[in-house]
Structure 1
Amino acid sequence: MTKEPQSTLIPTDVPHETGQSPEHKLPRSRHDSISSAPAMKSAGHVIVDSLAAHGVQRTYVVPGESFLDVLDGLHNSQIETIVCRHEGGAAYMAEAEGKMNQLPGVAMVTRGPGAANAHVGLHTAWQDSTPMILFVGLIPFAHRDREAFQEFDIKAWFDTGAKRVMVLDHPERASEIVAEAIFAAMSGRPGPVVVGLPEDILRQPVDPAIHPAIPVATGGMGSDDAEALKAALASSNKPLFVTGGNDWTPSAAEQLTDWLERHHIPAAAEWRTQGTVPFDSPSYVGPIGYGRPRPTYDLLEETDLLVFVGTVPGDVITDGFVCRQDWTKKNFLVTVDPSLRGRSGPVSRQILAKPGAFVRSLAGIELEVKEEWKAWTGRMRAEQESFAALPAPTPADGPARMDTLMANLVPRLTADALVTFGAGEHTNWAHRYFPTRRYASMISARNGSMGYSIPSAVAASLAEPRRRVVTIAGDGEFLMNGQELATAAQYGATPLVIVMDNREYGTIRTHQERHYPRRVSGTQLKNPDFAMMATAFGGFGITVTQDKDVPAALDAALAAIDNDHVFALIHLVVEQRVMAYQASV
């Protein structure tokens, strides 16, 4: 880390050198009596105390001199400080934790270069609607607008890709700004919030009182909404629910599943959000998005009533704003975002509610089950079961295959297993075969961000250490944040890492062959020994080149996790041009 210049503490009663000149004294009425004044704390320490009071369990950090006082506050805090190896990895970890919990994930980075490196995680949180807070250390307030070392305009950088960008210019608002940031990240459509922390402001002494949590409105389904939905369902022969987003709770997911199954109504999953309705539910009919199986590809046009819950029909679901654009179609959109940001196609009715509030009301709607619903759901469910049926587990002669790995991995998984992955063709095997049986059991980047697999797996393993966490990475994707295996080793995260090595950026090669056939350019890779890297980082690593060795490699990797309590990596070297969905889309 480049050493940053030291700054002097600015007295609370001396105006700053800029034209803004904020007053850093607390209101005099709170300091009239010295004997009754509470013991003061620095603003940085109050930020940490406030995060802990609001229930934050860990923060993902790449340290910098600009927020030393916050780091000092974390020293004796109940919050676990996870020191990461790159700001992009730290931001991804916070974003992944935000997907798993109701509270935002929290990352902390330094100014300038650190903030720039963390931007990728913010973009992921923005497009994936994930509650997340990024704290960014800043130059001293007194140095602002003088092009000081690593100075940048935090609002100009982040304003278009975050729900709010706040700067702690008044130290007495330290606890309030934490409460505001958590509220902003969770309210409405969830998303990322950025909080700037000027270095000198953090050291100012303030009243340590903790600002209360700000209640988040959940909306709800009014009587008019309920009647409209009930009438639409009653007149429908082929209804379809689509679940998505990161604003669910396990209980809401279970309640929705129970209602759907009782009424024999099908549900599909938004791209990379599988598990809200379990993989093996008789109502689950598959994912909708890139690489979708052929049966669900036609669902949007065939259904006569779509009910989106927690998401909207966006670019990916509608194949680039092409499917389901006929405004005579019935679409009910259940989202607490009144702007319907990202929506494509018709809107018959919007129900302003978060998933939990909607499902509680939905549970009270009882309908006479139609035979048409049973036939419709049964047909789609049979097609999904056929599509997701595992390949034969017996290895074939020749090079290692992802089909064989998944056929042998899935039976070895616990019922609550969780999968994470980033972007690339290697993710298709998880979409198709991984048994997502609860919310949340698929943690991924729906903005197509590479480098997400390892950080998200580390965060998932730390957040839920008793669950089997699996991550599937491509060879190109793995090396973008593979160094976070050091973080896994340092803090005891134990994911199973599968690296599918086809020595290329496969997704781009696929597009390239489609548009520029037989002109391969800019997509080929020469890879290191990933298993040796895993061993060097302190985990277990094994390379598999032949299909016959896949079962034994899985057994060895899982044994290392369970017995030695380390992460394990399987370096699976496959043939270059191999895809999971060639016969199904």
Structure 2
Amino acid sequence: MSSDTQARSAASALVAQLAANGVRHVFTVPGESFLPVLDALYESGITVTTCRQEGGAAMMAEAHGKATGEPGICFVTRGPGATNASAGIHIAQQDSTPMILFAGQIERGQRDREAFQEMDYRAAFGPISKWATEIDDPARVPEYVSRAFHTATSGRPGPVVMALPKDMLKEACPGPLAAPWKAIEAAPGAEEMAELAALIAAAERPFLLLGGSRWSERAYADIRAFADRFDMPVATSYRRLPLFDPLHPAYAGDLGLGANAKLVARVKAADLLIVLGGRLGEIPSQGYAVLGIPNPSCKLVHVHPGPEELGRVYVPHLGINAAPSRMAAAMAALPAPAQKPWSDITRAAHAEYLDWSEVATPQPGGVNLGEVMVHLREALPEDAIICNGAGNYAAWIHRFFRFRRLGSHVAPTSGSMGYGVPAAVGIKRLYPDRTVISLNGDGDFLMNGQEFATAIQHDLPIVCIVCDNASYGTIRMHQERDFPGRVSATDLRNPDFADYARTFGGFGVTVETTAEFPAALAAARASGVASIVHLKISTDAISPGATLSAIRSAALKGR
């Protein structure tokens, strides 16, 4: 690699700038539009993961950003490669995840002719990213890449999309690299913290809801210290379960899809709701029904790292522009009130959570997913990481699995299917010594199941659990509610997923009863290769608390 005082190609400067910013992993499907970058990566010391489809590569990068708080990096080719990757960009935007997508582009002199695979990146990606741009001048590569890192990580994090014209990458880039990016953390002021303390002291039914990104181990510990002293109930937002220890006596549960009705009622009954880090979007707000809009039904303290989110939907009684790390530290230092009239509420809420997260209802068919989740939480090490996409099977994860470590759940709050396998590959690449489990539905798995080949190629022994109910189950559930008995486009004819694993050179095992699962999981983990545990699930077992037949019957009676 050239020194800063020597001329180098724009591609070499780009890769050097990535290395200077601490990048150690990139995910890609190679393309001829950015061959100079691939060549610059060859001796860069940066690990390159070769993927099978750009959507999978982008999801791996997003998972990396979600797990580390540093931008996940993805390279894809122009046109179809970039549009394939858009699924990962949408996830990063809705999940507030730092990520940078570099996409190949046509030569600058061919613009506006609809040249081969030409596209307008600013127009295509502008609405679903924090910044979409194109580098025309090779001398500005360090400047643009530096801005990309700062933009992706500042305020509310999100994705940046940067197009790289093919001819620009070969030209010389004079001048030095930019200094590495540093996180910029907004902190609450003394007056805001004094007002928060007064609001808590005056409350009878306060509630703390944790969400969003930009959390750290220190913030995790600080919020626990706050809960130890203030003893108010704490809930986590949709797919942010690892932000708080579920066995802490203040934990009240997960305010996501299929939330405990008792938890929802307690949040609605709160006279003070402190939302820390999250936006309180559609799912955690239970369809925007928990609070009034724009004027909340209780005193709302909204703390968010992006100032544009404060007052965007709800008018807060107290809005605080602060990153979770700084806010958690300030909350840990607050003096606790002498009287805590809500302590009994906290004890009751935690007892309700514990009862809710135990297996209470038998399921139709041979495999009870609730019991499978309970076994997973008992058999896996505390630092195991669960990755999943979207589908009704995920309701069992949210309800029954207990995440004891920060960052131990990597899943899209955007509800994107096809995420579990590529996310697991990306996370195992990052943490090769930790147990990484990919939980998937059958339709969910087959959206990006080709990335199982990536796990095999790079010797990443992830364990994929495929919950096969031969259906697009979530859609089928809504179908039975709205059009009972009229099944249309939701049935699936699936392969033998255990054979699928073996075909790639992995380990595969089929499970048809709950009793078979512990041995199957142990064998998969011991195999030393990427594996698939194929669970045969009854189509009727659609959620932890209902069956399809019951939903259909209720819908027919309601007509």
**What's the TM-score once normalised by structure 1's chain length?**
0.90
Structure 1 residues 463, 215: CA separation in 2 closer, same or farther (over 3 Å shift)?
closer
Structure 2 unpaired stretches of 5+: 552-559
What displacement does 1:341 show? Answer: 7.0
Task: Indicate which of 49, 54, 69 corresponds to 2:21.
Answer: 54
Aligned residue for 1:229? 196
Task: Indicate which of 315, 330, 339 corresponds to 2:308.
Answer: 339
Q: What are the residue-to-residue correspondences of 1:455-494 with 2, within 5 Å?
A: 455-494=422-461
Structure 1 residues 512, 580: CA separation in 2 closer, same or farther (over 3 Å shift)?
closer
What displacement does 1:494 show? Answer: 2.0
Residue 160 of structure 2 aligns to a residue in which SS?
A: strand
Contact 1:475 1:500 in 2 (8 A): yes
Q: What are the residue-to-residue correspondences of 1:488-507 with 2, within 5 Å?
A: 488-507=455-474
Contact 1:44 1:70 in 2 (8 A): yes
Q: Spell out, residue by residue over 1:386-416, the C-alpha distance to the aligned partner (whole angstroms, 9 max, x if none).
A: 1112569xx9996222133223222111011
Aligned residue for 1:355? 324
Contact 1:293 1:581 in 2 (8 A): no
Aligned residue for 1:14? none
Once structures 1 and 2 are overlaid, which stretch shifts more, 108-117 or 464-473?
464-473
Structure 1 residues 142, 166: CA separation in 2 closer, same or farther (over 3 Å shift)?
same
What displacement does 1:141 show? Answer: 1.0
Aligned residue for 1:319? 286
Contact 1:233 1:305 in 2 (8 A): yes
What displacement does 1:481 show? Answer: 0.2
Contact 1:267 1:284 in 2 (8 A): yes
What displacement does 1:215 show? Answer: 4.1
- Distance in 2, matches of 1:494 and 1:434, equals 22
Residue 409 of structure 1 aligns to a residue in which SS?
A: helix
Contact 2:376 2:401 in 1 (8 A): no
Once structures 1 and 2 are overlaid, which stretch shifts more, 73-82 or 531-540?
531-540
Contact 1:460 1:469 in 2 (8 A): yes
- Distance in 2, matches of 1:250 and 1:267, equals 17
Aligned residue for 1:121? 88
Aligned residue for 1:575? 538
Q: Spell out, residue by residue over 1:312-365, the C-alpha distance to the aligned partner (whole angstroms, 9 max, x if none).
A: 222112222222115351111111211117954441111011101111222221
Q: What are the residue-to-residue correspondences of 1:148-227 with 2, within 5 Å?
A: 148-207=115-174, 209-227=176-194
- Distance in 2, matches of 1:37 and 1:350, equals 45
Contact 2:509 2:534 in 1 (8 A): yes
- Distance in 2, matches of 1:168 and 1:260, equals 48
Q: What are the residue-to-residue correspondences of 1:287-302 with 2, within 5 Å?
A: 287-302=254-269
What displacement does 1:102 show? Answer: 1.8
**Is 1:280 aligned with 2:230?**
no
Structure 1 residues 550, 350: CA separation in 2 closer, same or farther (over 3 Å shift)?
same
Once structures 1 and 2 are overlaid, which stretch shifts more, 134-143 or 534-543?
534-543
Once structures 1 and 2 are overlaid, which stretch shifts more, 473-482 or 565-574?
565-574
**Is 1:265 aligned with 2:228?**
no
- Distance in 2, matches of 1:146 and 1:208, equals 33
Residue 242 of structure 2 aligns to a residue in which SS?
A: coil
Give the percent of matched residue pairs that are identical in Structure 1 and Structure 2: 39
Structure 1 residues 430, 397: CA separation in 2 closer, same or farther (over 3 Å shift)?
closer
Aligned residue for 1:451? 418
Residue 88 of structure 2 aligns to a residue in which SS?
A: helix
Contact 1:41 1:208 in 2 (8 A): no
Residue 425 of structure 1 aligns to a residue in which SS?
A: coil
**Is 1:416 aligned with 2:393?**
no
Larger Rg: 1
Contact 2:304 2:310 in 1 (8 A): no
- The AA in structure 2 aligned to 1:211 is A
Task: Indicate which of 352, 369, 376 corresponds to 1:402.
Answer: 369
Structure 1 residues 343, 293: CA separation in 2 closer, same or farther (over 3 Å shift)?
farther
Structure 1 unpaired stretches of 5+: 1-35
What displacement does 1:438 show? Answer: 1.8
Structure 1 residues 342, 547: CA separation in 2 closer, same or farther (over 3 Å shift)?
farther
Q: What are the residue-to-residue correspondences of 1:528-567 with 2, within 5 Å?
A: 528-560=495-527, 565-567=528-530
- Distance in 2, matches of 1:361 and 1:554, equals 43
Structure 1 residues 103, 542: CA separation in 2 closer, same or farther (over 3 Å shift)?
same
- The AA in structure 1 aligned to 2:319 is Q
Structure 1 residues 583, 521: CA separation in 2 closer, same or farther (over 3 Å shift)?
closer
- The AA in structure 2 aligned to 1:48 is V
Q: Spell out, residue by residue over 1:237-276, the C-alpha distance to the aligned partner (whole angstroms, 9 max, x if none).
A: 2211111112111221111112112221221111011111
Residue 305 of structure 2 aligns to a residue in which SS?
A: coil
- Distance in 1, matches of 2:345 and 2:318, equals 24
Task: Output the aligned Cα RMSD.
Answer: 2.0
**What's the TM-score once normalised by structure 2's chain length?**
0.94
Aligned residue for 2:403? 436
Contact 1:398 1:547 in 2 (8 A): no
Residue 438 of structure 2 aligns to a residue in which SS?
A: strand
Residue 465 of structure 1 aligns to a residue in which SS?
A: coil
